[in-house]
A and B are shown apart, each in its own frame.
Chain A
């Protein structure tokens, strides 16, 4: 490890990095997904046999927080479409379903919009460039994900891309134009995301997600037909006697009571799992990213895919410690910022796919070429070099980075950032078809909670595209289905079989999930449930 002062003194070489190790070998040796003991195999449920991180497997193979007796006599709230999770995907699904005429109930564990979408910085991919095409976007997404993505889903997503941008503008979202271009007829500003062959990343400054989310939040609030319940996490899905999804059991955190939200169609848009801190990594995710949706869907029989694959974003903050894990957007590298080890050398093509760049950073640390500052280890992101090459870029284009550095207490135009990988995204998730339907009747899924779009690695800008494209698809499909037969005999029918399976596999019935909040949130969910039970009695 090289000290901070020595690392700063080493001249940062602009020379191109040496060719990478073969990509597969680099990933196998240094990517956290491939570390010894990182994965276990699921033994119960629809995806038994699949590899899965141990901490996630424990939650997926846990017992429910409530049983049939606990929900008897609970309040009910009926809707045609229930949307669980009010980040980007959930809001898009709710808007789409409501505009199609459905009565929508949109529920959220935190406040509407306070999820990962609002934190997205870099942008959204859509193939609008003259030299670009839907086919190239398709090819890049597939190869960036190591050919494990579902081709039909990827095709649906990239084909939706340009129309998604039009839809977002119609909702009132802004996008940056190329320098000097007119608002009508001008060209959009396009950047090249890591792992892409064309400049395809559209953005609004470096807070594209904030711009998107505040527009969606406002649209949801003003759209008739959507009821929003905040601070109402779903703690179990409801089922009918045939195993179809019939809504969800909600825990009203404010009044400490259970609410049965019954619906003909349920869209899960609960996001990812960064707050599980897999392999001990810090995370860029919001506070509520605890895999709740995966746990609920899996218990009801949904299939999972590529859940052994997580994205570690290469450039999380390593120093100062109070900001560890917070993201520095890939926009910095897309704009030309280089990365250097403690010897001043570049060590990877900074715009290679994220898994490759993250693995390369971890290799530098493992090889002793990392940089240490106040006990925090990382490598350098050369923001002073970027500012020197493009004066003004930090203040004008990389606003979030500049604000972050200000909170960290350094000037990024003078000092490089110390960075290391941070747990960022769940590449896999709940299996869906092109309409967003899962294998469970009545249950749909969109956004980060779903799987199949990104294979083993997501390209920058495909998360925002996915959540709008599939939020619309799932919302539309959900709005159609309540016209079908309404579920009857609603309860927790699926739990008896689930508990039998746990016992048969030798798993304890006392481990319960979802956890709703990370352990350091000091929330006693069991006590909340006891309070709810007392209230109902």
Chain B
């Protein structure tokens, strides 16, 4: 390491890292084994590399993704293990029937949502800056699709699920709302037409078509 190496503590290991390195890169560059808490490794979309980070001089640790957080001197970092939600919020999208039942379905599948204590734990946990609590409250008030839109950038890291003391499972609620919206209301006309043409045999494919 050069004299610009940045010292930090990661899962109890005192390591140094090159300036500009991500936390995940710092972990592997220090020779530590990586078999979990990793996926896309830098794009920030898979939600696997959850960490708690406490910066020097800070009292509170923040949730983050290790692949998109850069090392800082004096950081204390710990991976957050993935564990299943305490309770599966089960539903069958195909059995929802129609959108008249949407609000009832939200309450039937996610009854805890109306018990939100407004503690803000989910907002603090989200590494993507989603207004999770507001979205949960919107869903309870019936604004199901507006609530779903708030989860547009969700990477399903499930940190909000871990943070919620009421077991609301906000990330899964968000997915439920978004999936319901698409499956109940998205019916593109051009797609419908093409499907009908295919069913009528009007879109044949000539396998001998183009030749080199």
Give residues in A with beta carbon < 8 Å to B: 110-111, 113-115, 118-119, 126-130, 133-135, 138-139, 142-143, 146-147, 151-152, 155, 158-159, 162-163, 165-166, 169-175, 177, 183-188, 205, 207, 209-210, 214-215, 217-219, 221-222, 231, 253, 286-288, 320-323, 325-327, 399-400, 403-404, 407, 517, 520-524
Across the interface, name the chain B residue whose C-beta is closest to A408: B20
The one of A110, A143, A185, A218 that contacts B39, using a Cβ cutoff of 8 Å: A110
Q: Are the C-beta atoms of A187 and B33 separated by less than 8 Å?
A: no
Across the interface, name the chain A residue whose C-beta is closest to B192: A185
Q: Are the C-beta atoms of A174 and B182 separated by less than 8 Å?
A: yes
The one of B29, B93, B191, B209 that contacts A171, using a Cβ cutoff of 8 Å: B93
Q: Are the C-beta atoms of A522 and B32 separated by less than 8 Å?
A: yes
Whether B101 is near chain A, meaning CB under 8 Å from some CB there, is no
Question: Which residues of B in the span 50-104 have a Cβ within 8 Å of any Cβ on A?
Answer: 68, 70, 82, 88, 90-94
What 0/1 readout, one digit per residue, does chain B (13-29) give for beta carbons within 8 Å of chain A? 00000001110010011
Q: Are the C-beta atoms of B45 and A210 separated by less than 8 Å?
A: yes
CB within 8 Å for A173 and B194 given contacts A135-B205, A143-B210? no
Q: Are the C-beta atoms of A185 and B210 separated by less than 8 Å?
A: no
> What is the minimal beta-carbon distance from B184 to any residue of chain A, in angstroms?
9
Q: How many A-B residue pairs have CB under 8 A?
A: 196
> What is the minimal beta-carbon distance from B132 to any residue of chain A, in angstroms?
15
Q: Are the C-beta atoms of B40 and A286 separated by less than 8 Å?
A: yes
> What is the minimal beta-carbon distance from B99 to any residue of chain A, in angstroms?
11
Q: How far is the CA of A527 from the CA of B22 in the complex (A)?
A: 28
* Pairs A–B under 8 Å by Cβ, sample size 28: A111-B48, A113-B39, A113-B46, A114-B38, A114-B48, A152-B207, A155-B207, A169-B182, A172-B182, A172-B183, A173-B179, A174-B182, A183-B187, A184-B186, A209-B45, A210-B155, A215-B179, A217-B156, A218-B175, A218-B176, A219-B93, A221-B88, A286-B40, A322-B20, A322-B21, A322-B70, A521-B28, A523-B34
Q: Are the C-beta atoms of A138 and B179 separated by less than 8 Å?
A: no
Q: Are the C-beta atoms of A118 and B182 separated by less than 8 Å?
A: no
List the B side residues contacting A215 at CB < 8 Å: 175, 178-179
Q: Are the C-beta atoms of A522 and B45 separated by less than 8 Å?
A: no
Q: How far is the CA of A490 from the CA of B177 in the complex (A)?
A: 45
Across the interface, name the chain A residue whose C-beta is closest to B211: A147
> What is the minimal beta-carbon distance from A512 to any residue of chain B, in angstroms?
17
CB within 8 Å for A522 and B34 given contacts A113-B46, A147-B212, A322-B20? yes
Whether B164 is near chain A, meaning CB under 8 Å from some CB there, is no
Whether B1 is near chain A, meaning CB under 8 Å from some CB there, is no
The one of A127, A134, A218, A520 that contacts B28, using a Cβ cutoff of 8 Å: A520
